[in-house]
Amino acid sequence: MVEFLQQVINGVSLGAIYALLALGYTMVYGVLRFINFAHCDVFMIGAFAGMYIGRHVPEETVWGGLTVLAGAMLICAVLGIVIERLAYRPLRSGPTLNVLITAIGVSLFLEYGAQDEHVFGQRPQAFPQIFPNTSFQLGDVRLSSNQLIVIVVTVILLVGLRLFVMRTRLGTAMRALSFNPKAAQLVGVNNNVVISATFGLGSALAGAGGILYAMNYPSIEPFMGVMPGLKAFVAAVLGGIGNIPGAALGGLLLGVVETFVNGSDYSTYKDAIAFAILILILLFRPAGLLGRSTVEKV
């Protein structure tokens, strides 16, 4: 029982990071109907930004940690907006496939650009301990402060995002755009501003995800985003792509399943089992777990 509860905690803290990253995929898909493959590299840049900012603030303090988190989110938001402006907007009137291929190009550019010796270099680097590090003993189950921070920050960001999308004018405009871009434009929504905001918001979440991931697994390198990015994309599809609560649910589910397989004798089949579950769910619910509303919308 103790082992079971411990694995649930491990799984939830891993799944929370997948969820944060999945939100970015889902938001962009909801608005523009394409998969932003460069998203996982924004996540990587977030981790590196955190490492550099972390060197200038006191280590192991709450305020230092929050500064790093906010700084990395800001840098990633700007990066996301710049990527959209330079790489995706000029192609927006063309077929979606063109943008998709460009996204792959941007992704490779960021990965191999970051590998350059004058940027981040190829060697894995150590990520500083930015928040205070302790662990809490709940009976025989152990929760490290890093895991707790991941869960708390993810919940805050998720609730914040939900409120933003449902309650603010910009959020309403985003939803309008995802229903019908042309109609939204006709009723006075500035599509360019809304799309920029979507990229900025999604990228900021990726930046936060990068910091949280690097805190728990403090060895960062330019390709660190590839596997979590793939998993988060799967999580977004699992929950129903275009659906924000679905992405969060998909991320959590994937994290918990992976952790349980990892802790069993079949740990090397982890990804195979996780993807088999994905296929099964999609066979019975083609739109994903919470994807029904999206289907109705279209």
Residues in touch with another protein (CB under 8 A) = 2-3, 6-7, 10-11, 13-14, 117, 122-126, 129, 135, 137, 142, 144, 146-147, 216-219, 224, 227, 258-264, 267-268, 270
Min separation Cβ 229 and another protein, Å: 13
Min separation Cβ 55 and another protein, Å: 13
Are the C-beta atoms of residues 22 and 253 closer than 8 Å to each other? Answer: no
- The residue (of 194 and 253) whose beta carbon lies closer to another protein is 253
Min separation Cβ 187 and another protein, Å: 46
Min separation Cβ 10 and another protein, Å: 4
- Residue 87 DSSP code: I
Tokens of 15: 């799944």
Q: Using CA atoms, how far apart are residues 271 and 77, in angstroms rounded to an integer?
A: 30
Tokens of 246: 């679905």
Residue 222: which of 104, 50, 45 has the closest Cα?
A: 45
Say which residues have a Cβ less than 8 Å from residue 228's Cβ, sequence separation at least 6.
17, 18, 21, 40, 43, 209, 213
Q: Using CA atoms, how far apart are residues 64 and 36, in angstroms rounded to an integer?
A: 31
- The residue (of 125 and 191) whose beta carbon lies closer to another protein is 125
- The residue (of 61 and 122) whose beta carbon lies closer to another protein is 122
- The residue (of 31 and 256) whose beta carbon lies closer to another protein is 256
- The residue (of 50 and 242) whose beta carbon lies closer to another protein is 50
Min separation Cβ 147 and another protein, Å: 8
- The residue (of 96 and 133) whose beta carbon lies closer to another protein is 133
Measure CA 17 to chain center.
7
Min separation Cβ 153 and another protein, Å: 17
Say which residues have a Cβ less than 8 Å from residue 153's Cβ, sequence separation at least 6.
69, 208, 212
